[in-house]
Amino acid sequence: MPAPDTAVTASHQPAPQPDCMLTDAPNPEDAATISDALDRFNIEHTGIADRRPLAVLVRDPDTHQVVGGLTGRTSLGLFFLDLFYLPTRLRGNGLGTEILRQAEDEARARGCRTAVLYTITFQAPGFYQKHGWKRLGEVPCDPPGTSRVFMTKELTASTGEPVRSR
C-alpha cells in the first residue's frame, strides 16, 4: 500500500480566516462600510433603496454652533429616532415638541408608516407618550432600577389614513 501523500497542495490549503478586531473607536469609514453593505443587502432583498439620514438641528443664534436637536434615519417605511437632546435652558418652551413634529412630518413625507426609538426611564418616556408614542417594552439596564424603554408611533396622515410608501 503506498504511503499517504502528506504534502498539501495549494488547492487544498484552507482559506485564510478573517481577523476580528474589537474596538471602542471604529473609524467612520469602517462603520460606513458595514452600513453600506447592509443597505445593499436590504436593497437586493426588497428592491427598495430609500435609506436616508434625518436630522433637526438646533443652532445657537449667536455662534451658529449646534447645541442640540434630533438625529435619525428613514428606511423601508420606518423612521428610526436615534438621538434627541436639548440643553436644559431650551426645554419646557415647546421647542422639543416642534423638533419632534418636524422629524415626524419629514418621515411621513418620505413614506414612513411607523416610528421607533428607545429612551431611558430617567430621560424622556413621558415626553414621547405625551406625543402619541406607545411603549413596546423595557429592558433593565444600569444603574439598577433603570430601564431602556422601547417605543413606537404609528405615523398617519391628517385624514387618519396611513401614509402610503412612495
In contact, 113 and 152? CB cutoff 8 Å:
no
pLDDT of res. 156: 82
**Could you read off the pLDDT of 18-51 as tens digits, one per residue?**
999 999 999 999 999 999 999 999 999 999 999 9
Look at residue 103 and tell me whether its pLDDT is greater than 50: yes
Say how far apart CA 89 and CA 143 lie, in whole Å.
26
Give residue-wise pLDDT tens across range 125-155: 999 999 999 999 999 999 999 999 999 999 9
Q: Could you give the count of Cα atoms lying within 13 Å of 48 in the half-sphere of its Cβ?
A: 14
What's the pLDDT tens digit per position in 43-83?
999 999 999 999 999 999 999 999 999 999 999 999 999 99
* Residue 13 banded pLDDT, cuts 50, 70, 90: confident
